[in-house]
Amino acid sequence: MNPAPLPALSHAWPLPSRPRPIVIIGAGGIVNDAHLPAYRKAGFPVAGIFDIDAARAQAAARKFSIPQVFAALEEAAAQPGVVFDLAVPPERTFGVLEQLPSGAAVLMQKPMGTDLEEARRIRRLCRDRKLTAAVNFQLRFSPMMLAMRDAVAKGLLGPILDLEVRLNLRTAWELFPFLKKLDRVEIQVHSIHYLDWIRSLLGEPRGVYARTLPHPSFPSLKSTRSSIILDYGEAVRCCLSLNHHFEFGPKHEAAAVTVQGSKGAGIITLGLLLNYPDGKPETVELITDGSEWTQVPIEGRWFPHGFIGRMANVQRFAAGEDAELIASVEDAFKTMALVEACYQSSASGGTPIPE
């Protein structure tokens, strides 16, 4: 008896029918490596760019044929009928948002401010100014995560019983010198993506147990390794094991997400993180009742396709083509609250061993 084939799974977000021009505020590495390549690939028009380092903005404009480099933030913020793409350090997000016109559509880089109190201020500002605002949690929009979400929605795995994220690799922290200034690194800058995606799949956890710590090979960074358990009661085991300092070659490196249900399972390979920034293939494999392990056909990668889908949803929601703004500031605030709980748990320490 031949195993049943898997149904086709959706792995791309639909594009807006009439994309608005984009004004980018910030011209750092992530803009050049992900935002602009994504928008060029999708055909999204970029009207202009601003950065406090004018030379950096001009270099990005030349590389990606952007027609205008704004001389001041006020000039960029005055552009009508655009989507504002904020790619600034988290401590500057609130100040930039204050400059945008009421009712503007805006996509802001994660995290949503420096901590939960800053996220609260950002949420209040967005409410007061009636901004159509979302946070750039683009992992949700990567082809591999969209395919997994569709598999769960189609019931291929049954009710989820187990979810695990495991990293055992060497992250090139030296590529991100700005991290040296931050009091919070691994969870707030990196694993926030997994926490946000898990929330989108499993909902809100009851609580969290976490420990995040530094590594002697990068003494200038506050934390680069984490262990996290999310409490979803007795129904679901959910844990994250995140070691960014496996220094012993690629043979035993790992970057994987495993989702197990009552009738099937899925394994995602986070290929971008293996040999970053070039990466390795990203894959999704599934098994369900009546099937064998099957690699799901997907096109695209986390970078740049996750950024395409993220901007597409903002554009489509602003135009009335999408009913929901994914990872809006209201929803992203809950991810920031989960991040805050992780740091509080880590600071409080484990349960002492009884005498």
Provide φ and ψ at 120, rounded to 5°.
Answer: -65, -40
Beta-bridge partners for 230: 208, 238
Q: Alpha-carbon Rg of the chain, whole angstroms?
A: 20
**Domains recognised in the chain with CATH numbers:** 22-137+308-324 (3.40.50.720), 143-300 (3.30.360.10)
Tell me how far CA of residue 255 lies from CA of 143, 205, 230, 284, 293, in angstroms: 16, 23, 19, 12, 19
User: Do 12 and 75 contact (CB within 8 A), yes or no?
Assistant: no
Residue 149: partners with Cβ closer than 8 Å, 6 or more residues away? 140, 200, 201
- Residue 2 has what pLDDT? 62
The amino acid that residue 324 corresponds to is: E
**Under the phi-then-psi rule, with left for phi > 0, alpha for psi from -120 to 50, and beta for the rest, what region is 178?**
alpha
Dig out the tokens for 205 from the structure: 């956890």
- Residue 67 has what pLDDT? 98
Round to whole Å and give the CA distance between 138 and 310. Answer: 5
Tell me how far CA of residue 67 lies from CA of 51, 78, 90, in angstroms: 15, 16, 27
State pTM to two decimals: 0.96
- Residue 75 has what pLDDT? 98
* C-alpha of 253 from chain center: 22
Residue with tokens 């691994």: 186
Instruction: Provide the residue-wise pLDDT of the chain in tens; the chain has 355 residues.
Output: 566 788 999 999 999 999 999 999 999 999 999 999 999 999 999 999 999 999 999 999 999 999 999 999 999 999 999 999 999 999 999 999 999 999 999 999 999 999 999 999 999 999 999 999 999 999 999 999 999 999 999 999 999 999 999 999 999 999 888 899 999 999 999 999 999 999 999 999 999 999 999 999 999 999 999 999 999 999 999 999 999 999 999 999 999 999 999 999 999 999 999 998 889 999 999 999 989 999 999 999 999 999 999 999 999 999 999 999 999 999 999 999 999 999 999 999 999 999 9
- Residue 5 has what pLDDT? 81
* C-alpha of 313 from chain center: 14
- Residue 115 has what pLDDT? 95
* C-alpha of 282 from chain center: 16
